[in-house]
Amino acid sequence: MSTAPSRRRPLRTVLIAAVLLGLIGGAWYWSDHRAQPDAAAGGHGGMRGGAGSSHAQPVSVTGAKTMDIRVWLNALGTVTPRNLVTVHTQVDGTLLKVNFNEGQMVKSGQVLVEIDPRPFQIALDQARGQLTRDTALLDNARIDLTRYQKLLAKDAIPSQQVDTQNALVRQYQGTVETDRSLVANAQLQLGWTHVTAPSSGRIGLRQVDPGNQVHTTDANGLASIAQLQPTTVLFAVPEADLPAINQRLAKQEAIPVEAWDRDQKSHLADGRLLTTDNQIDPTTGTIKIKAEFANRDNALFPNQFVNVRLLLDTQRQVVAVPTAAVLRGDKGSFVYRVEAGGSVAMIPVTPGTIDGDWMAVTGEIKAGDKLVTDGTDKLRDGAKVEVIVPGAKNAEAGGKGGKSRPKGGWKHKAASDSAQ
C-alpha cells in the first residue's frame, strides 16, 4: 500500500514539467511572431519624410520675393572725438578754485579753474603807473617843442635846439607805446588766471587739486575735454571699395553709416560718411575713413570699439530669398522649392548680396516660390512635405459639437495648397 503513492510521484512530476515546457514554448512563439509586424511598422516609420515614402515631412516655408537689397560694407571702427583738448594754464601760480565737476558737460568759454591773481594784478598796476609817467613826459616834451618852434620863427633860438626837442618827443612816443604794450600784456596775464574751456564737450578727471602750484609746462595739464556732439568714428575699408565711395562723394551724395555694438546686436547710432584719408596704407591695402554722428544721446564714447556698416549701394528689385533657405552641398548652393504636388524640388541658385535675413540670388527662382526654411535635415529631391505654419491662431470648430484645436497649437496646410 505504501509503494503505490511513491510510484505516482515521478509521473506527476513529469506531467507538470511537460505542461510548463508547453506554456513556455507557446509564449515564445507568440512573442516572436508578434514582434515581426512591430519591427516592420517601426522600420517604415523610420523612412518617414524620405524620398519615396508615403509619409510627408513637416517643414516651414517662406515665399521668395522681389525687393531692394542694400549692399553694406562692414568694418571695425573706433570712436574718435571731433575735438580732444587738454586744458593747460597759461601762467604759473597757485590753484585757488576748481569750478567744474569731473565728467560734466562744459561749454566753450566757461570758467574752469581760478589761479591766484594778486601777483598779476600788481604787475598790471606797475605797468599802468609807468604808462602814466611816460605819458606826462611826452606831453611836456610836446609843449616844449611847440614853444621852441615859435622862438625859432623869431630867430630867437638855433634850429638845432628845435630838432633835439623834436627827437625827444619821438623818443617819448616810443616809450609810451611800449608802456601801453606792457599794460596790455599785464591785463592778458591777469585774465589767464581764470582758465576757461577752449571748446564744448565732456570734461574728464581733474589732474590738480586746489592749493597746488600749477605751471605752463605741466604735461598732464588741468583736465581734458572731449567733444561728443557731434563725434566721429574712424575705420578702414579695402582699397577695392574706394572707387565706389569716391564716386558717390564726387556726386555729393550722403552715404549712410551705422554704428553697432561689439556683438552686433544693439544699433547705437546713425551717421554719414565725412571724408577719406589722402593715401592708402600699403601694408594692409586699406584706407582710413571718417564718419560723423550727431550722438545726441551720447551712445558713442571716445575710444569705444564699434562695428561699422556703410551703405555702399542698393540693388533695385532683385529676387531675394531667406538666408535660412539657402543650403550648400557638393555641387554648390541650392534651395528646396515646394511644388504643386506637395513634393520638393532641389533648385540650384547662385548666392548674391545679403541684407539682414534676405539674400539676393540668381537661378530658376522667381517671386512667389515657396522655399523650405526649416526642416531640411532629412529632405531629398522629390520628397513629400507637409507645410506647418507656426503661431497660427486656433481654427474655430464648424457646427455644433465641433472641437477646436488647443490654444497655441500648430496649424497644418497641405503642401499643394501652399504652393499654389
From CA 242, how far away is CA 276, in angstroms rounded? 9
List the domain boundaries for the chain: 57-68+316-419, 73-82+228-315, 86-115+193-226, 117-192
Q: What is the mean pLDDT of the chain?
A: 83
Average pLDDT in the 32-56 region? 46
Res 406: pLDDT: 40
**Is 57-68+316-419 a domain of CATH 2.40.420.20?**
yes
Average pLDDT estimate for 265-283: 93
Q: In the structure grid, which three cell numbers stand for residue 23, read together? A: 506554456
**Residue % of the chain over a pLDDT of 90:** 58
Q: Over pLDDT 70: what percentage of the chain?
A: 82
E strand or H helix that includes residue 62? strand 57-63
Out of 3.40.50.720, 2.40.50.100, 2.60.120.10, 3.90.1640.10, select the CATH number for domain 86-115+193-226.
2.40.50.100
pLDDT at position 314 over 50: yes
Give tens-digit pLDDT for 240-252: 999 989 988 888 8
In this prediction, residue 291 carries a pLDDT of 95
Q: How far apart are CA 36 and CA 23, in angstroms?
A: 21
Measured CA distances, 128 to 73, 170, 191 (Å): 65, 20, 16
Which pLDDT value is given to residue 16?
75
Judge: domain 73-82+228-315, CATH 2.40.30.170: yes
- Residues 6 or more apart whose CB falls under 8 angstroms from that of 167 comprise none
Q: Which of the four pLDDT bands, split at 50, 70 and 90, describes residue 105?
A: very high
Confidence of residue 141 (pLDDT cuts 50, 70, 90): very high
Q: Which CATH number fits domain 117-192: 2.60.60, 3.40.50, 1.10.3110, 1.10.287?
A: 1.10.287
Cα–Cα distance, 326 to 373 (Å, whole number) = 8
Same topology for domains 86-115+193-226 and 117-192, yes or no?
no
